[in-house]
């Protein structure tokens, strides 16, 4: 991630503590809440940790939390008195993105306008053209959007050119959809949310009312979870921690059990998930075997309805890895286990899990593409 530049996302709208926002859709089953304790922890972060890392505001970057996340960034701007001019500009832009993602365009426009660079752009970075292109998109002004796209293309760095090209290509889509590269297959998005969690683009609005409710509940439970794992100083250790925290989110999101957070942390401590798979069988197989073992010893636990889906996916990933390694016997064994776990998941009483399992069966691949 390039420092100071976005990858994904008087203040009359400042929120009171805790940050708690009702969804703009009345059918949203719950609120996105950032508690006072968490808010204070976030406000103590450095700019780099809060804005550029994955444990700051980006931890709450989810459709059910876009408005709350924007409010959190606004609060950070108010609270931190030592921010540089550039850091303030970046934070205002990111706040605008979150409001834009939630289709609150007047608030988004206000933040975007406040993010302009006032100093001459002598570094070859066409920041102001990028901001103006973004405003043109939410203003539905395709001609101005294209003008600033051409200015970015003619710049030295061409920074954010791909993003602006996406805004043009998907001009008729919502800002969140266009910014993130266009529409995704909603069936894959739902499956990937359950088996990967982080960095999955999903829009609850595209699902049936009943399924939408389950997706929103899932996202809310994930966003409400605050891991107790400390942030280590070394980069590689931080990557390991990110993988562990993500796995906790996978688990706590599937159940309302009050002990879910504690049980998820214990599960992850015992599993010690890899932070990258490297295309070989070791990591997915270990995760599949662990899920099977845990299910066998905790058949009535809060994760019991979910683990067959997770195990099915990981066994499929394992089978594909063994096939690339030309280990036919192991690949066939892994596929049999995948089919057995998938059969259980397809019979789940939980609509969300059952729907994801049906997509996994139809897709027949570890990754969507």
SS (HEC) of the chain: CCCCCCCCCCCCCCCCCCEEECCCCCCCCCCEEECHHHHHHHHCCCHHHHHHCCCCHHHHCCCCCHHHHHHHHHHHHHHCCCCCHHHHHHHHHHHHHHHHHCCCHHHHHHHHHCCCCCCCCCCCCCHHHHHHHHHHHHCCCHHHHHHHHHHHHCCCCCCCHHHHHHHHHCCCCCHHHHHCCCCCCHHHHHHHHHHCCCCCCCCHHHCCHHHHHHHHHHHHHHHHCCCCCCCCCCHHHHHHHHHHHHHHHHHHCCCCCCCHHHHHHHHHHHHCCCCCCCCCCHHHHHHHHHHHHHHHHCCCCCCCCCHHHHHHHHHHHHHHHHHHCCCHHHHHHHHHHHHHHHHHHHCCCCHHHHHHHHHHHHHCCCCCC
Residue whose structure tokens are 């796995």:
247
What are the angstrom distances between the C-alpha of 89 and each of 51, 73, 83, 127?
12, 12, 10, 10
Two tokens, residue 181: 């590269």
CA gap 138, 144 in Å, rounded? 11
pLDDT value, residue 153: 96
**Tokens 């889509």 sit at which residue?**
173
Write down the pLDDT at residue 230.
Answer: 83
Cβ atoms of 287 and 231 within 8 Å: the answer is: no
- Establish whether the linkage from the previous residue to 27 is cis, with ω within 30° of 0: no
Domain ranges of the chain: 1-115, 121-182, 186-363
Evaluate if residue 335 carries a pLDDT over 90: yes
Kindly report the length of the chain: 369
Q: pLDDT tens-digit profile of 12-59?
A: 323 233 344 333 333 343 467 777 888 888 999 999 999 988 778 988
How high is the pLDDT of residue 332?
Answer: 98
Distances (CA, A) of 256 to 143, 189, 249: 49, 22, 12
Indicate whether 155 pLDDT > 50.
yes
What is the number of other CB atoms lying within 10 angstroms of the CB of residue 123?
12
pLDDT at 3 over 60: no
Burial of 333 (0-12, 13-18, 19+ CB in 10 A): middle
pTM reported for the whole predicted model: 0.74
pLDDT tens digits for 70-109? 999 999 999 999 999 999 999 999 999 999 999 999 999 9
Residue 233 has pLDDT above 80, yes or no: no
Beta carbons of 94 and 9 less than 8 angstroms apart: yes
Q: Compute the average pLDDT of residues 256-267.
A: 97
- Distance between CA atoms of residues 86 and 92, nearest Å: 10
CB-neighbour burial class of residue 83 (10 A; exposed 0-12, middle 13-18, buried 19+) = middle
Distance CA 5, CA 113 (A): 16
Mean pLDDT is lowest, of 232-246, 261-275, 290-304, for: 232-246
CB 65 within 8 A of CB 31: no
Q: How does the average pLDDT of the chain come out, rounded?
A: 88
Do residues 313 and 264 make contact, with C-beta atoms less than 8 angstroms apart? no
- Dihedral through CA 92, CA 96, CA 98, CA 104, nearest 10? 150
């Amino acid at each position: 991630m390039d420092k100071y530049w976005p990858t994904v996302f008087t203040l009359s709208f400042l929120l009171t503590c805790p940050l708690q926002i009702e969804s703009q859709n009345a059918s949203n089953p719950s609120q996105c809440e950032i508690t006072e304790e968490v808010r204070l922890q976030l406000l103590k972060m450095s700019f780099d940790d809060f804005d550029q890392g994955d444990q700051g505001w980006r931890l709450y970057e989810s459709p059910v939390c876009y408005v709350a996340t924007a409010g959190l960034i606004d609060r950070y701007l108010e609270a931190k008195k030592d921010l540089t001019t550039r850091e303030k500009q970046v934070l205002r832009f990111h706040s605008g993105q979150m409001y834009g993602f939630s289709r609150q365009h007047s608030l988004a426009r206000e933040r975007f306008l406040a993010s302009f660079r006032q100093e001459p752009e002598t570094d070859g970075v066409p920041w102001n053209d990028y901001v103006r292109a973004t405003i043109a998109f939410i203003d539905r002004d395709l001609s101005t959007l294209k003008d600033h796209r051409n200015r970015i293309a003619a710049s030295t760095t061409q920074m954010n050119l791909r993003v602006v090209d996406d805004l043009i290509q998907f001009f008729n889509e919502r800002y969140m959809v266009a910014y993130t590269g266009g529409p995704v297959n909603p069936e894959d998005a739902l499956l990937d949310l359950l088996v990967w969690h982080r960095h999955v683009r999903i829009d609850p609005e595209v699902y049936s009312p009943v399924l939408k409710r389950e997706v929103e509940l899932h996202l809310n439970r994930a966003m409400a979870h605050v891991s107790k794992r400390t942030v280590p100083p070394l980069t590689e250790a931080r990557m390991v921690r990110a993988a562990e925290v993500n796995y906790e989110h996978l688990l706590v999101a599937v159940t309302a059990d009050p002990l879910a957070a504690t049980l998820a942390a214990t599960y992850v401590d015992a599993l010690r998930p890899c932070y990258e798979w490297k295309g070989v069988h070791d990591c997915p197989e270990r995760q599949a075997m662990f899920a099977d073992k845990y299910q066998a010893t905790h058949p009535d636990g809060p994760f019991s309805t979910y683990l067959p889906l997770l195990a099915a996916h990981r066994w499929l990933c394992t089978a594909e890895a063994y096939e690339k390694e030309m280990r036919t016997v192991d690949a066939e064994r892994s596929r049999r286990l995948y089919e057995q776990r998938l059969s259980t998941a397809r019979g789940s009483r939980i609509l969300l899990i059952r729907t994801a399992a049906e997509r996994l069966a139809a897709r027949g691949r570890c990754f969507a593409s």
